[in-house]
Amino acid sequence: MENAAQEKAWIAKIAGSCYFVLTGFAYAITKLVSGHFDFADLGVLLWSCLPILINKRWMYLCFGVLNLVIWSYFALSVFGEISFDLVSVAVMAFATFGAIVSALLLIYSALSISEKRFSLI
């Protein structure tokens, strides 16, 4: 029974991390295409890859909680703003919902995986 729970938590860790990594790479690609990529954008890319690079329980927990707070604020601002067109609100709501779910997956994985099985290897 515990092995199945550990496996679910490991999958949650990978899925939550992949969302933020893919979002960071998408942001970097759009900045490269538009020609406005600078040093601060490299920081955003590194920030999104930080849990995978460090791969510690405390990092997943801190990253998940911090992103949950940030994206919850964005969710409140998206749903509080009615002046945007429907497509913009739908895209922002989809991205915000995905980030909140991914942050919750990271928090779940950090709380339920034992420290000795936390590494990817």
Give DSSP secondary structure letters for 21-81: HHHHHHHHHHHHHHT---HHHHHHHHHHHHHHHH--HHHHHHHHHHHHHHHHHHHHHHHH-
> Model confidence over 39-88: pLDDT tens digits?
888 888 888 888 888 888 888 999 999 999 999 898 887 777 666 677 87
Three-state secondary structure call for residue 17: helix
pLDDT at 8 over 60: yes
Pick from 45, 99, 43: nearest CA to 70: 99
- The pLDDT confidence band at residue 118, using thresholds 50, 70 and 90, is low
